[in-house]
Every structure is written in structure tokens, then in C-alpha cells.
Amino acid sequence: MTAAPAAAANTATGSAFVGVQATTVHGGVHIYVPESNDPAEIFRVGVQCLRGGMPDQARKYIREAVLAGHVTSRSCFLLVISLLSGRTLRTLPKGDLDLLRYVREQSAAQAADEWTEATRAIAHLLDSLAGQELDPNVTIKEFGKLGGTQRHLVIQHLEMFWSGPLQDWTWREVLRVAADGQTSRERLDRVWKFFQPVPAGPRVREARTPEIGVRHRAEAGGGAIVTAGTVGYLAFLASSTSAQVAAVALLALLGGGVLAAWTGLEWRFRVQRRQALDERHRRYRRSGTSGEVFAGPVDRMFRRYFAKYVPRGADLSEWIAGTWAIRMALRDEVVELYRESRVKPEQVAWLIRFLVSEVNGQWRRGTLRSEREALRVPPATRIGCALGALTAAAAWFALAGPAVVERPLAAVAALLGSAVGAAAAVPGWSRIVLERRRFRAEAADAARKYDARRQAHLRWKAKLEDRPNDHEMAFWLDCDRKMLMGEALRHYRLAPHSVVAHAFLEAPGRYYKRARVRNGPWRYTRYELLIFLLTADGVRQMSVQLDLAKATFHDRGRLNYRYDAVTAVEVSEADDGEKTFRLTLMNGDPIEAAVTGPATASEETQEDPRQVTEISLDAAGLHNTLHVLEGIAAEGKEWIGHERRREEAGLDKLADAVRGMADADGK
């Protein structure tokens, strides 16, 4: 396949349309943070960084641990791996060559085991590459004897050092492992959970404390005493005329008053509760506007989920219109409950989905207005209240007539006193009874809602229990990279040994969500992956959009160009910390990819945003990619010859640094 002419134009990648939908930081996870200054703990974190695809961080921690005295056969092996991982011979600094000499001495002092065997195998490989004396079949056989863990680490991290037939064998192994691992560990069912934040706990509006003042208690108590006293006095006066009539009237007054009070309070309670419910539904958008940091995303989530979860058989416009007031009331409640705390909108998404599902179920069952309908005043209550009031009024007049005849002035005074007492007692006692009933009703309603939300919260947490860790995310992403490499080799019909060098570039895809663990790199739901295959004829470039959750490639793009067509390679940084890779071809538009999103960090973890960006660049492999492409831009096709000579010189130095490991007998 021939290279494209130098004047060939190319277009920028789709990263120009990148947009962040959500950001999650799992701040309670400490796999990349040493919890003490103990060398063993620092070494553990270094190993975790190596597994997480961050060789720069791994080198830092493992080097520190070994130099602090944590020297074992395993630590020596992993230090060698970390020093060589993701590097070319040209990028290996002299200080690390000196460190390899130190490791050589320390490794020779370790008892022979699978780790020392693996270290000696690496040394033997590098020594033989420098002398060009090794039969590749011997090396293949030697690495085939290593344990699975050691062999996988060597193949994964030393891919820059394979060449010729050995490179073909290595890539067959790499692609076999990638094909087996790409969808392993239930990836398709678990990846999406990594991007879910820890859900905020369930909350409900607490029942409002009964608002009963001293004035209400005084009115109720004083009015009741005055009323009871004056009515009793009227009954006494009326008994002078006819004791039997007075007794019946008094009993009728008491019975009618109790019936009227009981049914009247029930009537009033239902009316007030219904009015409060209607008012709550009318009180939309008072708990914040859609432009607020918290209220805005919550508002959008409510709109999205109500549009997404339409009851089966329902018309969308009818559903949206019919639930508009309820949606606004629920939205206000969520904003009111969580806005003033350190809760992110994404952490209440589970609650919003649950609330929408409840409304959906009520719609399907035809009970959407059941709460309001349940508060309708029954006819029996209305009739009972009217009957009780009429009975009490009739009995009151029955007592008043004989009393006025018996003692006019005293009876009139008693009548006025009973009226004044009743006017004070009825509102006072109504306030006390209704407020207590309201509180009990609201408390019961809050308890019911809390229990339902708590169950929903527990179900969601249980669903997230098998959330993948960062190591699994790194492993799956590495498998995707290797599968893309295999696809590119097949498409361009290239044997691995015909590829002089290769480089990967990872960038956030279109409309992604992102998440990370503390001090870990950003992981994205969608990636733009670019691979550059450098051959004797030129550069073969392939780009894809990776859906990480589905492990699928989309929107493939391919481009071929000569080495002398590359005019510039650069990484620019925006004010918000976003870094953009740009490769410019002669007379062509630049190839661009935003290799990191905005440099934000979690307030809870108090991390430096710039450090987070550097960690993400380390995991994305940008440093090695820049080294390769910048060499091409500076030297053109001559880069191949120059690089080979530099590698030969570097191999001699590297082989000298590790020479002796291969012959160490162990102790």
C-alpha cells in the first residue's frame, strides 16, 4: 500500500464535538494513594499504578520503595518492568540505567524463584538483542517457561523491545490475550457502573412541628371553661321549670355538639390537607431556578426521565402535560432536600428515577390523583356535621327559653357568656386538634415515603456492588487498544515485524461521561483511539470511536502519509487545563484530539487538578506518542535510520546495565 501524497488534505477528528455529561470521582477509594510511609505500602501503590496503566507513577513509587529497603525478588522484577514500560531506548534516562545496575546487584542476592527467573529472562533478552546472537525460538521457549503472571507482565510492558520473528510471536500472544479478555469479567454488564457516583442517601421532608401557641391554648381552655359554666347555669335555671326537659336538652346539646365537632373537624382537616396538596403542586420553581448549579441539572434530569419513562400505551404529550404539576412539585422537593448539602446532582439520579417510576405506576393504575381524591369529604361527614349543629342549636334554644322566663337578666348574661366562650373555644380547640392531626398525617406520610426511598436506595446500591475497579477498566481499555492494533495490521496487511514503531493516542470521545478513583486517571465512557503504525513506506493511521461499555468500535477513519508530510506535532493547553494534541500535515488541516478534558479535581479529595491531568496523560500514553511523532516531524524518513542507530547505542548501554542478571545463580 502506497503512502498518500504530501499535499493530501485531512480533516480534524470528531473530538471537536466533545462534551462532558457527568463527572464522578470515587474519593473513598485509595488504591493509588499510600496510606503510610512504609516502603511496603509505597511498593503496593506502585504495583497498583502499574496495573492501572500509569508507568510514570509506577516508576516513582516502586523506585522509592526499593531504594528505601523494600528489596525482594518480586520488587526487583517489577522495578525493571516499570523502568522499561512504555519507553523507547532513547527516552530511558541515564539515571535509570544506574538504577538498573543497582537492581542487578540486588536481584543477584535473592533466592531463586519465579520472579528471579523472569528478571533473568529480561536481562537475557536485552543482552541478546544488543549482540544480535539469539535464536528467537530459544527466547520464545525461555519466556514460555515463565509463570503466567510474569509472562503477561513482560509481554504487556516491554512491547517496544521486541523485534523480528520474536515480535510476530509476541503480538500473536498479545492479540490472543486481548481477544479473550476484551469482554471478560462480565464487562458488558459492569462497565457502566464505574461511571455511577456513590448515591446520596434517601431523604424526605420532615413533618412540620405543630404550630400551637400559648394564645391558642388559652383560648381553648378559657373558652371551654366559660362555655361549660354558662351552659351549666342555663341548665340549672331551666330545671326550675322542668327538670326532665332540661336534662334532655342538655344531653341533646352535648351529643349534638360532640357530633358537630367530630365531623366538623374531620371536614376541616380534609379540606386543609387537600388545599395544602394543591398548593404544593402549584408551588413550582420556588426552590431554585434551572440556571443554578444544583437545581439546573436536577430539572434537566426530571425532564429527561419523564420523557424517557412514558407509560406503555400512553401518548407522550398527554403524559407530559398530565404530570407537569407533579413533576415540578417533585423537582422542588429534591432541590429543597439536597441543594444545601455537598451532594452532586448525579448522586440523586437514582431518586429521580424512582420518583418518576412511582408516578408512572400511578398513571398505569389510574391512581395518579388518588391522594387528592382520598381527601374528598364524604357526604356522611357533611350530613353528620349539619345534623349535630342543628341538634345542638335546638337544644341550646330549648334551654334558653325556660331560663329566660325564670330569670331574664341572668339568663341573657349566661347566653352571652356561652356565645363568647364558644367563639373562643371552637377556634382554639380546632387549631390544637387539626395541627396534631396534620403532624401525625405528615409524619406517617414521611415515614412511608422514607421507607420506599430507602428500599429503592438499597436496591440501587446492591446493583452497584460489583462496580469494576480501576485495574479492570485499565485492562479492558488495554485489550481494546490491542484489538485495534490487530485490526489495523489486518487492514494494512502488515506483519508485526514490518512495523518499525507504533504509537497509541487516547482522547475522550463524543459526549462522554467520565469518572476516576482518587489520584487515578480519568476513564471515559467513549474514547477516540488513534494508532500510528510506522513502516518503511510511511505512516499508517487509524482512528475509531470506542464505546467502552459495549466494547465496540465506530466511525473508523484511516489515513496514510509519508514521513516528510508531517510538518508539526504539538500539544496545546487551554486556560481550563484541557490539553489538545495536534498533528499538522503539509498543506493539510491539523489532526486534533483533546487528550484530556478540563483539569478539574474533586473538592472532597483536595487533589491538584494539574496533577490529575498529568496522571491521565501518563495513562493515555501521550509521552511516548509525542516522542515518536516529534522525531518524524523533525527528521522525516531519516528518523528510521537515526532511531535504529540510537536504539543500537541504547541497547548496548541497557544490556551493560543489566548484564549479570542473566547469569546470576541466586542464593
Residues 290-315: tens digit of each pLDDT: 457 888 999 999 999 999 999 998 99
Q: Tell me if 212 is assigned to some domain.
A: no
Same domain, 286 and 410: yes
Question: Is residue 607 predicted with pLDDT exceeding 90?
Answer: no
Question: Is residue 570 predicted with pLDDT exceeding 90?
Answer: no
- Considering the chain, what is the average pLDDT of its residues? 83
Same domain, 567 and 647: no
6 confidence band (pLDDT: 50, 70, 90): very low
Average pLDDT over residues 512-526: 89
In the chain the first and final C-alpha atoms are separated, in Å, by: 54
Instruction: Give tens-digit pLDDT for 190-217.
Output: 999 999 999 999 999 999 899 888 888 8
Q: At what angle do helices 114-131 and 94-108 cross, to 10 degrees?
A: 130
d(CA 218, CA 211): 14
Rounded percentage of the chain residues whose pLDDT exceeds 90: 31
Question: Is residue 483 predicted with pLDDT exceeding 90?
Answer: yes
Q: Tell me if 434 is assigned to some domain.
A: no
Please tell me the predicted confidence (pLDDT) of residue 39.
Answer: 93
Paired residues of 504 in beta bridges? 531
d(CA 537, CA 151): 33
d(CA 360, CA 313): 12
Contacts of 137 (CB under 8 A, 6+ apart): none
Number of folded domains in the chain? 3
Average pLDDT over residues 11-19: 43
Instruction: Give tens-digit pLDDT for 398-419.
Output: 888 888 878 888 888 888 888 8
Instruction: Give tens-digit pLDDT for 495-518.
Output: 988 888 888 888 888 888 999 888
* C-alpha to C-alpha distances, 20 to 546, 550, 570, 575, 606, nearest whole angstrom: 16, 19, 24, 17, 21
Bridge-based pairing state of the strands 20-26 and 512-517: parallel
Strand order in the sheet with 501-508: 501-508, 526-534, 539-547, 552-561
- The three cell numbers of residue 370 are 388518588
Closest CA to 215 of 206, 227, 223: 223
Please tell me the predicted confidence (pLDDT) of residue 14.
Answer: 43
| Residue in this structure with the C-alpha cell 352571652, named with its chain if needed | 416
Closest CA to 593 of 510, 667, 494, 469: 510
Instruction: Tell me if 76 sits within 8 A of 111, measured CB to CB.
Output: no
Q: Tell me if 268 is assigned to some domain.
A: yes
Q: Tell me if 274 is assigned to some domain.
A: yes
Residue where one domain finishes, among candidates 384, 399, 414: 414
d(CA 61, CA 50): 10
- The three cell numbers of residue 533 are 503504525
CATH for 123: 1.25.40
Higher pLDDT, 600 or 141: 141
Please tell me the predicted confidence (pLDDT) of residue 8.
Answer: 33
3 confidence band (pLDDT: 50, 70, 90): very low
Instruction: Tell me if 539 sits within 8 A of 533, measured CB to CB.
Output: yes
Quote the DSSP letter at residue 8. -
Same domain, 387 and 240: yes
Same domain, 605 and 488: yes
Domain that residue 89 falls in? 32-157+642-667
Q: Tell me if 461 is assigned to some domain.
A: no
> Distance from CA of residue 539 to its chain's centroid?
39
CA angle 295, 300, 302 (to 5 degrees): 95
Same domain, 409 and 476: no
Neighbouring CB atoms inside 10 A of 35's CB total: 10
Same domain, 108 and 243: no
Phi-psi region of 341 (alpha: psi -120 to 50; beta: other; left: phi over 0): beta
647 confidence band (pLDDT: 50, 70, 90): low
What DSSP string describes 101-170?
HHHHHHHHTSPPSHHHHHHHHHHHHHHHHHHT---HHHHHHHHHTS-HHHHHHHHHH-GGG--HHHHHHH
Looking at 342-351, 475-484, 563-572, which range is the least confident one? 563-572
Instruction: Give tens-digit pLDDT for 56-97.
Output: 889 899 999 999 999 999 999 999 888 888 776 666 777 777
pTM score of the predicted model: 0.80
Question: Is residue 9 predicted with pLDDT exceeding 60?
Answer: no
The H-or-E segment that residue 569 falls in is strand 566-573
Same domain, 138 and 280: no
Closest CA to 592 of 607, 608, 606, 571: 571
Same domain, 592 and 577: yes
136 confidence band (pLDDT: 50, 70, 90): low
Same domain, 391 and 274: yes
Neighbouring CB atoms inside 10 A of 24's CB total: 21
Please tell me the predicted confidence (pLDDT) of residue 667.
Answer: 40
Same domain, 12 and 73: no
Average pLDDT over residues 375-396: 90
Q: Tell me if 331 is assigned to some domain.
A: yes
Q: Tell me if 583 is assigned to some domain.
A: yes
CA angle 241, 247, 249 (to 5 degrees): 90
- The three cell numbers of residue 650 are 541504547
Same domain, 523 and 607: yes
Question: Is residue 121 predicted with pLDDT exceeding 90?
Answer: no
Contacts of 65 (CB under 8 A, 6+ apart): 39, 40, 42, 43, 46, 75
Same domain, 390 and 409: yes
Please tell me the predicted confidence (pLDDT) of residue 17.
Answer: 42
Residue where one domain finishes, among candidates 371, 391, 414: 414
Q: Tell me if 194 is assigned to some domain.
A: no
Paired residues of 558 in beta bridges? 542
Quote the DSSP letter at residue 595. -
Paired residues of 443 in beta bridges? none
Higher pLDDT, 652 or 247: 247
Please tell me the predicted confidence (pLDDT) of residue 493.
Answer: 92
Please tell me the predicted confidence (pLDDT) of residue 600.
Answer: 62
Highest mean pLDDT among 56-65, 98-107, 166-175: 56-65
Neighbouring CB atoms inside 10 A of 570's CB total: 14
